[in-house]
Chain A
Amino acid sequence: MEFPGVLFPSYFGCGPPKDEGGPAPAAGWGERGKVLEAGPGQRQVLPPLVPLRGHEGESWAPAEAAAVPLLPPNMGCWVPTVTPRDILYHGILHRKLRTGRSGAALDFAKQLGHFFVDHPEDAFSSLGRLLHKNFHLGDSRLRKRSVRDTTIRMTSLVENINHMEARRGCPQHQFTSRLRLFSHLCRDWLFEVPLGLLADCVHEELLLQWTSLLFDDSSTGGALAWLPPQDASSRVGRLVYPGGLAMNHLYFQDVVLEEQPRARGLPVQFELNGRIWQVAATRVDGQDFVGVRSDYHCGVWRMPGKTGAAPSPLQVIHTDVPASCLTVSPYLSGELSVCTQSGAVYLWNIETGLQRLRHDPQTLFFRDHSPWRWSDFTAHPRVLSCADRTGILCLDARAPTSCHFDFFKVGEEAKCEQGERVVLPMYLGRAHPCQHLVATQFAIYLLDERLPLVPVLKWSHMMKAPPLFADIVPGESGRSHKALLGTSHTQELLLLQYTGGSQKACQLAGPPQQLHSIASCLPHLPTQLPHQHHLLHQRLSIPAAGLAAVQHEQGQQESLLVFQLSEAGDVFYQMLRHEAALSPVPDQGDEAEPAPNPNKEDEAAAPPSSPILFGSEEEEQEEEEEQTFYLSNLEVIINDEEEEEEGVVATPAATEEPEPQASPKSVPDVPSAPAALRYRRWLRALLQAWMGSPASSCRSGPPTLSQRRLFTRKELSEMAPSVLQQYQLQLRQAMRKRGRIQRWEPAPEPPGPPPSLEPNALSARLTAAWRGEWGAVGPAGSTLQRQQALRERRRRQKRSRAHRSLSASFTSSITYQSELSELSEGGTPRTPPATPREVAVSSPPGTPPPPPTEILLSSQELRSRGIPKERRRTLRDYLSVWAEGPQDPPEAPSSITVQRCIPSSQSQLSSSQSQLSSASQPRRKRPRMGF
């Protein structure tokens, strides 16, 4: 326990922090801090001087291109996290918020609306029951006079509401006076819970949600812990992490440290009755003690030193106020410290019970409203540190009221900035018995207990969010200690190295290094269909919930393994390899391109000893097959709402906020074969689980579509009611049987005049709409749509002309090609393709060859079919568009009659070239305006 003989010079002052501006975006760079002589100077030679920062550190290079999943995805967790869009009005936050001048507007009216719609029984039951006789919602007029006197017709009101809903978010929209009147009239009596009260409650809850969205401290400390191997020879450690539906299951998973870490066997599992926020673990006398904190319960588990022994729960305590901290003593077995949000600090011994050391609802050094408290152990087993947002105090558990000293103050003592607050204190006993790490939202401080109040090291970490998780990998025999800092929402992960503490003063070694976030693996996963990509993106960018790091040696190669946990319960890892100092720190951007791994999809490329992640070897062989099966068996999910979301689905990559990704040439570009295999397995497991989850079924149900938007009243009334009824009947039957609508038996032809085209078009559109392709069909529509069709037609004409002149004999296939290329030019397809299978069925063999389209195109023919004049042109354009594509493939034996169904050319297309169909179809499904 030596104390450095000479410390780096620094000023010392007291009082509140000086107002010197504020957080700076690049404050951590470029400074040397101070300099100090490295050692006793020899005679005649000046002592070499070393800087506080900028000293050379060890070089650790990431071994993979991104974080790699360690365990299969946490199956249960599908509850989407709250987004700002859910609770903010218009979802736009202005820059002002950054400066703190104005807040965001909470859209609690929307939430109230959701409540009324989702729980009408709770909202209106009694009055609804009383009044339902007096409200009429049907279309028909009220006949009876007696009824008419006591009943109000609400249809138009409902229509008004619907219209308003459709224009939601439109800045121009105005409330109709009728709605206003109605709401004014019934505001006081209609609701089960008084509206004002309910709104207050909702608003309060929204405020809480919003503040937790900005900064949530409940996961401070992290819920991932690594229990190192029992002895040096064994390579099996244990990972402790939460999972399950509500993150309320505690898992102990054996992990073998090899070339790539892998899980061994099934995890030991405990179900708890609360969401796990923090998992803390230390080893005392060869036994691991694991403390688990949820809101109102804290528990402790013991992991016996013997290998293969199962963890056993020891004790649980219940708190009235949510606990905010749980740390495990590294000295005495079964001793922990607990803090609650009421400001109480307890020393919890399994044998002797709880001892309250301190209870003070006020903060330590100045007033701060946060109820967050933290406590940790120090170099003295009886002295605990107690922290809140304003600083840290150390107190002796034997005489907590009289024996204490100030350890860290947010103020001039540590040269803090205004608004700076303690976010995460951590005892670094494994690196040096006297050192503590204190992280604020701006900087990290390294403190030595022997020199309180003056940080021995300070560095602005420049992270975008306050670091909530940290871990330390002690460096032995004079090597640098590695500190890892992690943030929650932004998933940032920073590796810092520092040296010193005993003989020499502490120095920051080397520049800080950013490690991969969980979301970084998104581009390395196999390409997905847009909605799955969206799901994946959502899943991977869920806030982080914990981190753990371990250093181990693989032969001569030292590696640093970093585990990350996401709030969804997924565990990822990344490996860093130590590079022995060769030359000055290499510029990684300058290095030659890393060896690419072109056949990463190739199973054979995996080394024979490649670890098996989640399955047997047979599965591995089936992999390829199943992969394609997945792709072909996708359901088409088209959802109204999703489309309104400014094309989140459309081009997932493009609409994302451009995250700074300045690293197209980072160390390895492509995941290694084992990593790629893990990606695919993880993805497969995730998608499989998702398909079976209630979340997917409620989202991927048949597209709901308002008829009103599809057909005008006039269109519907033009049709013979009997035909309409027939179709409705068929539709219902098909729905009941869950069959395909396209298999309809052709309706018995009404005798007499040839069927008009109108019902045909209607049926076709109905069909297509039912299959989720309404965007593709329809000659009738707005002018915009017509223009689009026209433009498209011209383009296609041009193209096909050019192609034809090249080689007329390949017309058809070339057209497909051009379609494909068009597809790729036009960006990602907006909607996923329909399954080829479904389409293939739609072409019953043996139908007569199609009549030449020219017949349809002539105006006489159109007139004879009773098509209004203004529509003829559109129809002609439309038909000619379709006629051009597969001009006349004479060899195509199977094609459907155009007579029955206009988009038959489409089915023709797909049947003749089924392998291309999945690619060529989306073009036609591009949703158009005006429907």
Chain B
Amino acid sequence: MDALQVGSALQPALHLPFLPRHLYRAASSNERRLNFWRSKELCLNYIQDALLRKQWKRAAEFLTSYIESLEKDFSTEYMGPSEIIWRVGTEILCNHSPSNVREFNSFIEQMKTLGVKRYLKVCLEHAFHLLCNGRIDEAYQNLSLAESWRFGERTVTQDKEMKLIQAYRGLLDYYSWSNKKNILLEYEKDGFEDMSVEQEMHGFFRKAAVNLKEIIKIPGVWDLFVKSYVDLLEFYGDHQEAREVLTDYAYNSKFPANPNAHVYLYQFLKRHGAPKKSLISALKILHDIVPSHELMIDFNTMLQKSKKRKRRRLGLEVIFAVLDYAGWKKNVKAWSCLARQVKQIVISEKHLDWIKQEWNSRKDWWPAFHFSRYLAKSNWQENERLSYEKALVAGVLLGKDCKYFKYVSHHGCKAQVKKFRTLKKFVNKHSSAYLSISGL
């Protein structure tokens, strides 16, 4: 028992990828296979080193020696030499002679025959390479070929790869479809019809729709496919289906919380003139998961215009939340939204408690985060408008003695800018608002 415990304690705290080189010397008396293993490993190290130093030619030379390891591939490891050769060879070819697609193709064709388990993956990667080099047709052929491949029962991974292959083929079909669509639209403009083009287009639609529909059912991030599929559906007027797809993509709990899913839904709803209520609810959910999303500015504007008190309240919450984030710190638009709403509230002298509530959770860190003297100086130097908006907010929230407000209004007045004078007057006039916000 003790020995067992000791044994486990002797294991590294972390499962290490490679036992550090300085920790082992060659085990003394082991058979030839070990030597072979060692030299293989050494060769791989050389290749790795050359690759990491961008010496592609040198790496290629080592790789030719490494190919010998295929002859005695006893390994039961997950990644055998054939996979290594595929990976390393691809890397070398991509970087060393990136434009030579023919060479690349012949290499990959050989690699495809090396392992059954990896066939689909190699095909997919091959297609990606061709796509990146603009060889759409070749890539399409490759994908179709891979799709028709059958070999016994597929593993889970292979299943996923196959779905991805189909999806990408669907995507290429979609591209062809949109090409044809554009041609047709131009024809229509010119006033004549072409049945064959139209039929081709519908053919592409069918092929694309089948494949795309398939993949977006599986949990994942499928922005590209969802967008294409929705575009297809919208063109043929199947808004119901499109809406379902988008709603499912956004709200299905099995899917990751992808902000884009909500954005697509919102955009779709907006395109089709959905009622404001549903737009707001879509954005409200987006606000809940990503309060710092750039759509929140639109959301705030939308809410501010609303007549309902509850929505205006939400608008204030949204804009305060946006400005919590470091990425919005210097955004004039966001600050002017907040300044406008704060001004509105202060002038109307109603709902000062809204500001008070929002301010409560922020008063201990916003002054240092947004309204420090250092920031006043740099904001004033970099962006006068930003400093104006911020000074207004600071004046209301922190009173006229706040460092930020004092610095900016002082410099603004000195620079003879009229709006700063009115700003000063405004803040002085509504100093009571500050008192009620700060709870004094």
Partner-B contacts on A (CB < 8 A):
1-13, 18, 20-27, 29-37, 41, 43-44, 46-51, 54, 83-84, 91-95, 97-98, 100, 102-104, 106, 207, 210-211, 213-215, 217, 285-286, 330-333, 369-370, 379-382, 389, 398, 413, 418-421, 423, 429, 432-434, 441-442, 450-454, 462-466, 489-490, 494, 511-514, 541, 584-585, 587-590, 657-663, 665-666
Query: In the complex, which residues of chain B have a beta carbon less than 8 angstroms from the beta carbon of A100?
Result: 11, 15
Any chain A CB within 8 A of the CB of B285?
Answer: no
Report the separation of the CA atoms of residues A3 and B325 in the bound assembly, to the nearest whole angstrom.
14
Report the separation of the CA atoms of residues A45 and B124 in the bound assembly, to the nearest whole angstrom.
23
Contact present for A25 and B257 (CB under 8 Å): no
Query: In the complex, which residues of chain A have a beta carbon less than 8 angstroms from the beta carbon of B369?
Result: 331-332, 381
**Which chain A residue lies CB-closest to B54?**
A588
**Which chain A residue lies CB-closest to B128?**
A32
Query: In the complex, which residues of chain B have a beta carbon less than 8 angstroms from the beta carbon of A30?
Result: 86-91, 94, 125
Contact present for B179 and A44 (CB under 8 Å): yes
Contact present for B361 and A49 (CB under 8 Å): no
Contact present for A20 and B157 (CB under 8 Å): yes
Contact present for B42 and A589 (CB under 8 Å): no
Report the separation of the CA atoms of residues A10 and B164 in the bound assembly, to the nearest whole angstrom.
9
User: B217 to chain A: closest CB distance in Å?
Assistant: 12
Contact present for A379 and B78 (CB under 8 Å): no
Query: In the complex, which residues of chain A have a beta carbon less than 8 angstroms from the beta carbon of B211?
Result: none
Any chain A CB within 8 A of the CB of B141?
Answer: no
Contact present for A589 and B28 (CB under 8 Å): no
Report the separation of the CA atoms of residues A590 and B58 in the bound assembly, to the nearest whole angstrom.
9
Q: Pick the contact of A54 from B79, B94, B258, B327 — CB < 8 Å? A: B94
> CB-CB contacts of B317-341 with A at 8 A, as 1s and 0s?
0000000111110010000000000
Any chain A CB within 8 A of the CB of B12?
Answer: yes
Q: Which 3 A-B pairs have the closest CB atoms?
A: A21-B78, A103-B10, A419-B15
Contact present for A380 and B20 (CB under 8 Å): no
Query: In the complex, which residues of chain B have a beta carbon less than 8 angstroms from the beta carbon of A381?
Result: 324, 326, 365, 369
User: A602 to chain B: closest CB distance in Å?
Assistant: 29
CB contact under 8 A between A44 and B48, given known A11-B218, A514-B53: no
Query: In the complex, which residues of chain A have a beta carbon less than 8 angstroms from the beta carbon of B83?
Result: 24, 26
Contact present for A214 and B16 (CB under 8 Å): yes
| Segment from B145-153, B188-196, B288-296 that makes contact with A | B288-296
User: A326 to chain B: closest CB distance in Å?
Assistant: 20
Report the separation of the CA atoms of residues A588 and B258 in the bound assembly, to the nearest whole angstrom.
42
Report the separation of the CA atoms of residues A576 and B375 in the bound assembly, to the nearest whole angstrom.
34
Contact present for A588 and B125 (CB under 8 Å): no
Contact present for A21 and B87 (CB under 8 Å): no
Contact present for B13 and A91 (CB under 8 Å): no
Contact present for A98 and B90 (CB under 8 Å): no
CB contact under 8 A between A511 and B95, given known A26-B48, A464-B17, A665-B55: yes
User: A119 to chain B: closest CB distance in Å?
Assistant: 26
Query: In the complex, which residues of chain B have a beta carbon less than 8 angstroms from the beta carbon of A379?
Result: 292, 325-327
Q: Pick the contact of B46 from A37, A93, A213, A660 — CB < 8 Å? A: A660
User: B29 to chain A: closest CB distance in Å?
Assistant: 11
Query: In the complex, which residues of chain B have a beta carbon less than 8 angstroms from the beta carbon of A84?
Result: 22-23
**Which chain B residue lies CB-closest to A585?**
B95
User: A548 to chain B: closest CB distance in Å?
Assistant: 21
Contact present for A464 and B18 (CB under 8 Å): yes
CB contact under 8 A between A11 and B21, given known A421-B14, A465-B16: no
Task: Enumerate B181-235 residues with CB–CB distance to A below 8 Å.
Answer: 182-183, 218-225, 227
Report the separation of the CA atoms of residues A389 and B324 in the bound assembly, to the nearest whole angstrom.
29
Contact present for A513 and B54 (CB under 8 Å): yes
Contact present for A660 and B15 (CB under 8 Å): no
Any chain A CB within 8 A of the CB of B50?
Answer: yes
Any chain A CB within 8 A of the CB of B7?
Answer: yes
> CB-CB contacts of B36-74 with A at 8 A, as 1s and 0s?
000001101111111111111111001000000000000
| Segment from B130-138, B383-391, B423-431 that makes contact with A | B130-138
Contact present for A104 and B10 (CB under 8 Å): yes
CB contact under 8 A between A26 and B79, given known A3-B293, A660-B42: yes
Any chain A CB within 8 A of the CB of B167?
Answer: yes
Report the separation of the CA atoms of residues A43 and B175 in the bound assembly, to the nearest whole angstrom.
11
Query: In the complex, which residues of chain A have a beta carbon less than 8 angstroms from the beta carbon of B96?
Result: 587
Q: Pick the contact of B53 from A5, A13, A22, A588 — CB < 8 Å? A: A588
Interface of B is mostly: helix
**Which chain A residue lies CB-closest to B8?**
A103
Contact present for B292 and A214 (CB under 8 Å): no
Any chain A CB within 8 A of the CB of B27?
Answer: yes
**Which chain A residue lies CB-closest to B296?**
A1
Report the separation of the CA atoms of residues A2 and B94 in the bound assembly, to the nearest whole angstrom.
32
**Which chain A residue lies CB-closest to B111?**
A30
> CB-CB contacts of B367-383 with A at 8 A, as 1s and 0s?
01100101100000000
Query: In the complex, which residues of chain A have a beta carbon less than 8 angstroms from the beta carbon of B164?
Result: 9
Any chain A CB within 8 A of the CB of B274?
Answer: no
Query: In the complex, which residues of chain A have a beta carbon less than 8 angstroms from the beta carbon of B52?
Result: 494, 511-514
Any chain A CB within 8 A of the CB of B160?
Answer: yes
User: B7 to chain A: closest CB distance in Å?
Assistant: 5
Query: In the complex, which residues of chain A have a beta carbon less than 8 angstroms from the beta carbon of B28?
Result: 92
User: A19 to chain B: closest CB distance in Å?
Assistant: 9
Report the separation of the CA atoms of residues A24 and B84 in the bound assembly, to the nearest whole angstrom.
9
Report the separation of the CA atoms of residues A9 and B372 in the bound assembly, to the nearest whole angstrom.
43
Contact present for B23 and A333 (CB under 8 Å): no
Contact present for A660 and B328 (CB under 8 Å): no
Report the separation of the CA atoms of residues A451 and B261 in the bound assembly, to the nearest whole angstrom.
11
Q: Pick the contact of A1 from B56, B327, B365 — CB < 8 Å? A: B327
Any chain A CB within 8 A of the CB of B256?
Answer: yes
Report the separation of the CA atoms of residues A40 and B182 in the bound assembly, to the nearest whole angstrom.
14
User: B61 to chain A: closest CB distance in Å?
Assistant: 9
Report the separation of the CA atoms of residues A516 and B372 in the bound assembly, to the nearest whole angstrom.
42
User: B242 to chain A: closest CB distance in Å?
Assistant: 17
Contact present for A92 and B25 (CB under 8 Å): yes
CB contact under 8 A between A207 and B79, given known A13-B219, A35-B131, A332-B369: no
**Which chain A residue lies CB-closest to B290?**
A450
Contact present for B25 and A657 (CB under 8 Å): yes
Query: In the complex, which residues of chain A have a beta carbon less than 8 angstroms from the beta carbon of B115?
Result: none
Report the separation of the CA atoms of residues A226 and B31 in the bound assembly, to the nearest whole angstrom.
51
CB contact under 8 A between A215 and B326, given known A46-B179, A587-B54: no
Contact present for A659 and B21 (CB under 8 Å): yes
Report the separation of the CA atoms of residues A27 and B78 in the bound assembly, to the nearest whole angstrom.
11
User: B40 to chain A: closest CB distance in Å?
Assistant: 10
Report the separation of the CA atoms of residues A106 and B7 in the bound assembly, to the nearest whole angstrom.
10
User: B163 to chain A: closest CB distance in Å?
Assistant: 9
Query: In the complex, which residues of chain B have a beta carbon less than 8 angstroms from the beta carbon of A423?
Result: 14
**Which chain B residue lies CB-closest to A332?**
B368
Query: In the complex, which residues of chain A have a beta carbon less than 8 angstroms from the beta carbon of B19?
Result: 93, 97-98
Query: In the complex, which residues of chain B have a beta carbon less than 8 angstroms from the beta carbon of A5?
Result: 223, 260, 263
**Which chain B residue lies CB-closest to A207?**
B9
Contact present for A588 and B55 (CB under 8 Å): yes
Report the separation of the CA atoms of residues A5 and B226 in the bound assembly, to the nearest whole angstrom.
12
Report the separation of the CA atoms of residues A48 and B136 in the bound assembly, to the nearest whole angstrom.
10
Any chain A CB within 8 A of the CB of B306?
Answer: no
User: A528 to chain B: closest CB distance in Å?
Assistant: 21
Report the separation of the CA atoms of residues A489 and B22 in the bound assembly, to the nearest whole angstrom.
9
Q: Pick the contact of B223 from A6, A285, A513 — CB < 8 Å? A: A6
User: A508 to chain B: closest CB distance in Å?
Assistant: 12
Query: In the complex, which residues of chain B have a beta carbon less than 8 angstroms from the beta carbon of A421?
Result: 14-15
Any chain A CB within 8 A of the CB of B105?
Answer: no
Contact present for A285 and B374 (CB under 8 Å): yes
Ordered by A's residue number, 13 sampled pairs between the chains whose C-beta atoms are within 8 Å are A1-B294, A1-B331, A5-B223, A207-B10, A215-B12, A285-B374, A380-B326, A389-B14, A418-B15, A511-B95, A589-B50, A662-B47, A663-B53
User: B415 to chain A: closest CB distance in Å?
Assistant: 23
**Which chain A residue lies CB-closest to B157?**
A20
**Which chain B residue lies CB-closest to A453?**
B256
Contact present for B20 and A490 (CB under 8 Å): yes
User: B165 to chain A: closest CB distance in Å?
Assistant: 12
User: B172 to chain A: closest CB distance in Å?
Assistant: 8
Report the separation of the CA atoms of residues A171 and B10 in the bound assembly, to the nearest whole angstrom.
24
Contact present for B259 and A451 (CB under 8 Å): yes
Contact present for B259 and A450 (CB under 8 Å): yes
